Structure 1
Amino acid sequence: MQRYYPWLLVVVLFCTSVVSYLDRNIISLFVGPIRNEIGLSDVQVSLLQGIAFALFYSVMGLPFGRLVDHRTRKNLIAAGVLLWSVMTICCGLSTTFWQLFFSRMGVGIGEACLGPAAFSMIADCFAPAQRGRAIASYNMSNYVGVGASLLFGGAIISMLTQHTDFGLPGISGMPTWRLAFLISGLPGILMAFAVLALKEPQRREVMHTTGGHRGKVGLWSYLSRRTRAFVSIYTVYTLTAMIGYIIVAWAPSFYIRHHHMRPANVGLLMGGMTIVSGVTGCLCGGYLTDLLASGGIRGGRFRLPLVWWPIAVASIIGMVCTSDPTLSLFFLGLLTFGSALSFSGAATVIQDVVPNQLRGQAAALNYIWTGIIGLSLGPTSVAMVTQYVLKDSSLLGNALVIVIVPLSVIGFFACYLGQDNYQKARDDLIAMLHTDTDTPATPETAPENKKSDARQQTIV
């Protein structure tokens, strides 16, 4: 049992993350009913999907990251799960824009601690040679969660179309979108108890003082000595997340407006496609990042995102320009696969260049950038282009291309120019863990790098 326990931990955290994405993204399929009942514009809807959730999801990330680095991580996750589940239920009970706005904020606060804590726990359970696959397996929850929210919403709509206003008999004609929020908030309560039943992993790869005590490492002082590497890392994954959030927020509306598909069909088709493409991309990404890290290739895991950006450009153009909805969904699947291929390794890339004392904070900082820039600005930027530049909501596809293509070009160059700086930051960390000092090392030769990586595996 002890041998398989690390993977059991991954499974529990994976299921918890799926629930978080279900609660986060269920709103995207009910844009129409929510707009009609409460009276919202596209910009207000984008604020509910973006900044309402992302504001506190981002702001609370760093304080939670510090707690993750010093407190019992499973307790933090359980508390967060309970909070976001209750606030999801509150979304279903909201009757005004501001009630929905603050309920979405509450969901963001609860979910802020899950990612940093989960990545830290998983990293402590696996050796570096297996860490990419383990974290990529957890990251499959991103796409399974998004797909599940679409499948769940599509199934609810499909089952209740025969009732007036999509109501459920016996619940006072409650609209379907409200019922969906109420139901999606319940599984998290069960998952909170499952997380509490986990064992807290022993912390590994900790920098110590000469006396053997746990050393204190300042996040900003550590990052400031490796600024170029971390600017490249955070830029690449922020832009990757930004594109992902744009697609989650607006792809359903694109197929409803442009291809005149029914919401129920959009949910079922996009949900299944997202799960298959996302899981496949994560599995491939996890295997390839471990292969790159162990192969002595300059840049290691951070080379994989270079493949993603050309995929993003080709697939978004194909998705929008084709008149065949089936072919358009194929390009959307390709876009999802490329996103998963790149983003599945984000946490591992970051953890490969920070000591244990900073894992939670470094991961939280990534969530801050992806939240403030990716989630807050991504969906809203498309709405702004549609509403104020193109001035036609039927041109949503054009807005997607106008926003996503330039982001992909910037992301490619940020990744390409950051390869050498990332490798130097990795070399520094390996050297510091063996000398227990926070002083950047000089670049090592290739044979010494391989030897250091072998020694690193023995202490995990």
Structure 2
Amino acid sequence: MTGTPMTYPPREQAWWMVAVFCFAGFISYTHRLILSVLVDPLQIDLGIGDASISLLQGAAFAIIYVLAGLPLGRLADRGRRRRILIGGALIWCTGSILCGLAPGFWTLFAARAVVGIGEAALAPAAASMIGDAFPPHQRGTAIGVFFMGMVVGGPAAVGIGGVLLGAAQDGAFLAVPLLGTLAPWRIVLILIGVSGLLVPILLLTVREPQRLEAIEQAPLSHVIARLASDRLVLGTLLIAIALLSVGDYGLLSWVPSVLSRLFLWKPEQIGSIFGLVTAIAGIFGALLGGVLSDLFARRGGVRGRLGFSMAAASLAGVGALLVAAPHPALVLLGLGLWTLCSAIAATAGVAALQDVIPGDLRGIGMSLVAFCNTLLGLGMGPTAVALVTERGFGNPLAVGYSVACIVVPAAMLSIGLFHMSRSALLHKRGGRDG
């Protein structure tokens, strides 16, 4: 402790900060996933296949994101966090604009990496500031509101992107200087990047709260040793959550292409309906996952939470199977069911992680969740689906089957790992519940 009294900023100031962070999370996920609705025109313009698109959606962003996350997290513990947030927002918006101007695949790949660097600054700095702005009994609610922006941001990328792409294809921006000469998908990326500059402007209105505790940097070997002692519980739990993320990113990236290629839906139709289904399902999933997992925890401890995650992941797998159905209504039903149940299972899993990890390592625990979700989910989910479509089925119209081939096994493996973590926890505690 610093030795000074624990004082928190005024309530309205703290909640304004959270509202700005929620908006920042919304914009960041919109930038992260905007390519999913631009797949077909981008491929035609640049002459690239599904595998190359998947690298732009996943690896180009994910690799630099996970590499930058840890040093930016340590910087957030030591430096001026608001400056880090403003700098990160400026970088990711610039990256999105550069994506719209990129002349070819590799320059677009590099621009996506710039987006990843900027977005890696958001979560650690925002979570640190929220921790200093709210007393312990309110931090969960504040963090939940912050995460809500991210939950809505992914579907919004498809919704907003679809509307903008449709307008650009209809010539709505022909009279705009410079923009009017560009391909429609480039116009969308530039508009998204420019509009995102509202985030650093809003961050200027946020006051950085006083740090309540001095951060003690434990040696890395000490941290690794403590985590390794619980590797059967923690490792299986982290991978179980990450496997759900494989499905999340796989569906967000390729279900729009299912609706476009198989059912000839227009971009604006995909954007509005896809965005509505996933946004509603994601919001309810996040809320229900927290509330119901707390209920199961009161009855069965940590193992109750993990059992609840297993049940939700089972239903999510059914949703992934429906994505391969031959009717758009069933595809949307599967998308909604996966989004709802995956959010429930992941939220309950993260709550269980917070229960079992040592109190002074919870921040590291959340960093590991983000690391695994990004590396496995965003890094592998879109690419695996594309590879099955191109090299397995050899038919772009089989993309729905490819989604099911990747995501259903991911859900089954997730269930098994939740069960292993649950069993390891019981063994560790000698048959006593957590």
Shorter chain as denominator, the TM-score bin is 0.7 to 0.9
Question: Which deviates further from its counterpart, 386-395 or 343-352?
Answer: 343-352
Q: CA 1:296–1:306 in structure 2 vs 1: closer, same or farther (change >3 Å)?
A: closer
Distance of 2:44 and 2:204 partners within structure 1? 41
Deviation for aligned residue 1:70: 3.5
Aligned counterpart for 2:366 among listed residues 350, 363, 366: 363
Distance of 1:261 and 1:7 partners within structure 2? 40
1:138 and 2:141 aligned: no
Deviations 1:66-122 (A, max 9, x none): 223343433322221111111111001111101100000111111112223333443
Aligned counterpart for 1:316 among listed residues 316, 320, 340: 320
Segments of structure 1 that go 5 or more residues without pairing to the other structure are 426-441, 450-460
In structure 1, the partner of 2:55 is: 47
Question: Which deviates further from its counterpart, 273-282 or 40-49?
Answer: 273-282
- Paired residue type of 2:33: N
Aligned counterpart for 2:283 among listed residues 269, 279, 286: 279
In structure 2, the partner of 1:94 is: 102
- Paired residue type of 1:240: L
Distance of 1:384 and 1:174 partners within structure 2? 30
CA contact (8 A) 1:19 1:187 kept: no
CA contact (8 A) 1:243 1:404 kept: yes
Q: CA 1:346–1:4 in structure 2 vs 1: closer, same or farther (change >3 Å)?
A: farther
Distance of 2:305 and 2:175 partners within structure 1? 49
Question: Which deviates further from its counterpart, 20-29 or 307-316?
Answer: 307-316
Distance of 2:423 and 2:357 partners within structure 1? 16
Q: CA 1:125–1:80 in structure 2 vs 1: closer, same or farther (change >3 Å)?
A: same
In structure 2, the partner of 1:79 is: 87
In structure 2, the partner of 1:411 is: 414
Distance of 2:346 and 2:126 partners within structure 1? 16
In structure 2, the partner of 1:103 is: 111
Deviation for aligned residue 1:15: 0.6
1:397 and 2:405 aligned: no
Deviations 1:98-152 (A, max 9, x none): 1100000111111112223333443455566555444333222233111221121
In structure 2, the partner of 1:375 is: 378
Distance of 1:95 and 1:215 partners within structure 2? 44
Q: CA 1:347–1:7 in structure 2 vs 1: closer, same or farther (change >3 Å)?
A: farther
Percentage of matched positions with identical amino acids? 31
In structure 1, the partner of 2:333 is: 330
Distance of 1:445 and 1:126 partners within structure 2? 33
Distance of 1:199 and 1:409 partners within structure 2? 45
Q: CA 1:107–1:349 in structure 2 vs 1: closer, same or farther (change >3 Å)?
A: farther
1:255 and 2:259 aligned: yes
1:66 and 2:74 aligned: yes
TM-score normalised to structure 2 length: 0.87
Q: CA 1:340–1:167 in structure 2 vs 1: closer, same or farther (change >3 Å)?
A: farther
Aligned counterpart for 1:177 among listed residues 182, 185, 202: 185
- Paired residue type of 1:216: A
Q: CA 1:343–1:6 in structure 2 vs 1: closer, same or farther (change >3 Å)?
A: farther
1:225 and 2:225 aligned: no
CA contact (8 A) 1:133 1:290 kept: no
- Paired residue type of 1:408: A
In structure 2, the partner of 1:238 is: 242
SS in 2 for 1:185: helix
Distance of 1:264 and 1:400 partners within structure 2? 22
Deviations 1:334-389 (A, max 9, x none): 11111222334565544444567644443232222222222111111111111111
Q: CA 1:357–1:80 in structure 2 vs 1: closer, same or farther (change >3 Å)?
A: farther
Deviation for aligned residue 1:2: 2.5
Deviations 1:367-413 (A, max 9, x none): 22222222111111111111111111111111111111111111001
- Paired residue type of 2:123: G
Deviation for aligned residue 1:317: 1.6
Deviation for aligned residue 1:222: 2.3
Give RMSD over aligned pairs: 2.9
- Paired residue type of 1:45: I
1:387 and 2:390 aligned: yes
CA contact (8 A) 2:102 2:108 kept: yes
- Paired residue type of 1:279: I
SS in 1 for 2:301: coil
Deviation for aligned residue 1:198: 2.9
In structure 1, the partner of 2:130 is: 122
Distance of 1:201 and 1:424 partners within structure 2? 42
Deviation for aligned residue 1:38: 1.3
Distance of 1:445 and 1:402 partners within structure 2? 38
Question: Which deviates further from its counterpart, 250-259 or 119-128?
Answer: 119-128
Deviation for aligned residue 1:44: 0.6
CA contact (8 A) 2:293 2:348 kept: yes
Segments of structure 2 that go 5 or more residues without pairing to the other structure are 1-8
Matched residue pairs, number?
423
CA contact (8 A) 1:75 1:196 kept: no
